[in-house]
Amino acid sequence: MRENVVIRTVTRLAVPFILVFGLYIILHGSSRAGGGFQGGVIVASAFILIGIAFGLDETQRRIREKVRTIASILGISIFIGIGLLCILFGANFLGYAAIPLPLDTPWVRGLMMEAVEIGIGITVMAVMTSIFYDVATKEEGE
């Protein structure tokens, strides 16, 4: 299967579209159907597709692993960070309205929700990919 040209070509073509679609879903969470989870999974599926089509190349994985770990931490950190920021500005945890932006409250809220959704998306993407790679990797000597 490694040598299957069709799959590799299709993957090469499809991945950019999947990624764009995933990002669209993440970013449109607040106004249309969509959200961080759904988008994150879609983005992850692109990476998984790459893994299936091109094999779990060792070197490539090493880089990705670091990125994934950082990404999963980053996603949660965005979420927590926004929450703590709200505390800093005198509201309760995740009380978006307190964040002093020169906008109306619903807009601030909407913006913060968007940021949170991005955080969710990043973490979901990273973890899903990570789980796939870990499950798919064979143990040495097997």
Q: Give me the residues that bind other proteins (CB under 8 A), please.
A: 29-37, 65, 69, 72-73, 75-77, 79-80, 83-84, 86-87, 91-98, 104-111, 113, 116-117, 119-120, 123-124, 126-128, 130-131, 134-135, 137, 139-140, 142
Query: Which residue's entry shows tokens 């980053």?
Result: 74
Per-position DSSP letters for 97-140, written without gaps between them: GGS--SS-HHHHHHHHHHHHHHHHHHHHHHHHHHHHHHHHSPPT
Q: Identify which of residues 7 and 113 has a Cβ nearer to other proteins in the complex.
A: 113
State the nearest-atom distance from the C-beta of 124 to other proteins, in Å: 6
Question: 11 or 99: whose CB is closer to other proteins?
Answer: 99
Question: Smallest distance, Å, CB 23 to other proteins?
Answer: 16
Measured from the CB atom, is 10 or 88 closer to other proteins?
88
52/63 Cα distance (integer angstroms):
17
In angstroms, give the least distance from the CB of 134 to other proteins: 5
Closest to other proteins by CB, 3 vs 142, is: 142
Q: Are 107 and 25 in contact (CB under 8 A)?
A: no
Element (H, E) at 59: helix 58-88
Radius of gyration (C-alpha) of the chain in whole angstroms: 18
